[in-house]
Amino acid sequence: MKSKYDLIIVGGGPAGSICAKTSAEQGLDVLMIEKRQEIGVPVRCAEGVGKKSLENFIKPDKKWICAEAKGANIYSPDGTCVVMSEEMAGGEVGYVLERKIFDRVLAHRAAKAGAEVMVKTSATGLLRSDGFIKGATIRHMGKKQDIRSDIVIGADGVESKVGRWAGIDTSLKLADIETCVQFLMTNIDLDQEYNEFYLGNEIAPGGYAWLFPKGDDRANVGLGIAGDRSGKTRVYDYLRQFIKRYPKAQILEMVFGGVPVCAPMEKTVENGLILIGDAARYSDPITGGGIANAMKSGKHAGDVSVKAISNGDVSVEGFKEYERLCWEDIGKTNMAMYRVKEIIMKFSDEELNSLAHSLKDIKIEELSATGLLMKLVENNPKLLEALQEFFK
C-alpha cells in the first residue's frame, strides 16, 4: 500500500468495484478497501436485478447467475395474482444472481483494470486540510495508517459512516428504512421462472414478502417492513409466519439487513468526497432494489473523478457533473417513486385487493405502460392522486 492515491474507495460492493474499474482503466491510481475479509460475503441481498441494467455493465455469466425470471407474480392480500412481464416488474426482476461470486467478479475486474484492492481493511476516519477531504485513516490487521488521496469515494453501503464523517446528512427517518430478513430455503416448490411478491398489511406492513428462485429447489424467501410499522412484532416473526406456507422447506442461510427507501438526498458530495450506491441512498424507494443504481452511480463517480482530477478541481463545484448525471439517471425516477410510495403505503388491504382485481384478467405483457396505467386508473380512482404526484 502506498501513502498517496488519486482515489480511495471505501467499500467493495457493486458501487465501489464499478467505480474502481471505471477510474482505474482511465489511468487513475486507485485503492479500494473492503472491511470484510472476503468480498461479497455475507450476502445481504435477495440478488434480483433487471437484465438490461446489469448487461450495461457486465456480460451475463452462468457462473454467477442462478435463475432467469420471465416476470413476476404479484399477490394481493386476498391471494389474487397479477402477472407482470420482466420489463414491467421493476429493477429487481430479471436475473437472480449469486452475489458471493458476482461481487467478487466485479472486484476482480477492478483489480485487472489496475486498482489496488485490499480486504480486511477498514476506513476509520477522514483526513482534512484547507476545507477539503484529503484521504482516509485506515486499519489493516490492527495497524492504523493515514493514506492521502485527491478524492475519497464513500461506497460503504447502507450503514455508511463516510458520509457522516464528511458532514453530509445521510440520516433516514424510520419510515424510510425497510427492515428485512431473508432465508435461503431449499425444498421450495416454486416456478423458477417467476419472482413472487406478496403484499398486505398482515403479511408485511409497509413492505412486502418475496420469493426469488435460485435454481434447483432453492429460493431467497424474505420480507421487509417499514421501520415505523414494526410495532411489537419483529420482522423475523413476520417471516416465520409467512414461511408456514412452505412446511417442507428448510433454511440454509439467514440474512438480516436494512434498505433505504427514501427520497434522493439533497447533497451527495463534499470537497474531495463523493458518495455512491447505498451510501448515497440510491436504492429504489418502492422495491428497495439497489444493485443497478449502485453500479450506475459508481460509473458516474469514476468518470467524474477522472475529469475533476485532470481539471484540478475536486471541489463540490467540480463534482456538480456527478450530481447532475445521477439526478438524470437515478434521482428523477427515485423522486417520483418516492411520491408514489408515500401514497401506496397508505392503501388498505381492500384497496390493494381492488387494484389486483382490476388487473388479474388482463394480459399485462400486451399492454404498453400507458395502457396499464389507464386500466388501473379506470378501476381505482384513488390512484389518480398517486399518478398526479408521479408527474409533478
46 belongs to the binding site for ligand FAD (CB under 6 A): yes
152 belongs to the binding site for ligand FAD (CB under 6 A): no
100 belongs to the binding site for ligand FAD (CB under 6 A): no
Distance CA 214, CA 329 (A): 29
CB closer to ligand FAD, 124 vs 348 = 124
How many CB atoms are located within 10 Å of the residue 35 CB? Answer: 18
Nearest approach, Cβ of residue 195 and ligand FAD (Å):
9
15 belongs to the binding site for ligand FAD (CB under 6 A): yes
CB closer to ligand FAD, 118 vs 387 = 118
Single-letter code of the amino acid located at 221: V
Binding mask 272-311 for ligand FAD (x = CB under 6 A): -----xxx---x----xxxx--x-----------------
Q: Determine how β-strand 65-68 pairs with β-strand 95-97.
A: antiparallel
Q: Which of 157, 213, 272, 318 binds ligand FAD (CB under 6 A)?
A: 157
- CA 169 centroid distance within chain: 19
Angstrom CA distances, 77 to 208, 290, 312, stand at: 10, 26, 56
Nearest approach, Cβ of residue 335 and ligand FAD (Å):
18
90 belongs to the binding site for ligand FAD (CB under 6 A): no
Instruction: Give me 222's grid cell.
Output: 424474505
240-269: which residues touch ligand FAD (CB under 6 A)? 255, 257, 259
Strands (E), the chain: 4-10, 30-33, 48-49, 65-68, 71-75, 81-85, 95-97, 116-118, 121-129, 132-140, 143-154, 177-186, 194-198, 208-213, 219-226, 250-260, 269-270, 273-275
Nearest approach, Cβ of residue 38 and ligand FAD (Å):
9
Q: Which of 20, 23, 48, 208 binds ligand FAD (CB under 6 A)?
A: 48
Instruction: Give me 344's grid cell.
Output: 401506496
123-142: which residues touch ligand FAD (CB under 6 A)? 123
Distance CA 367, CA 363 (A): 7
Binding mask 307-346 for ligand FAD (x = CB under 6 A): ----------------------------------------
CB closer to ligand FAD, 6 vs 92 = 92
Q: What does the DSSP assignment read for 337-388? A: HHHHHHHHTT--HHHHHHHHHTTTTS-GGGS-HHHHHHHHHHH-THHHHHHH
Distance CA 340, CA 386 (A): 5
Q: Which residue ranges make up the site for ligand FAD (CB under 6 A)?
A: 10-16, 33-36, 44-49, 92, 122-123, 155-158, 161, 180, 182, 222, 255, 257, 259, 277-279, 283, 288-291, 294
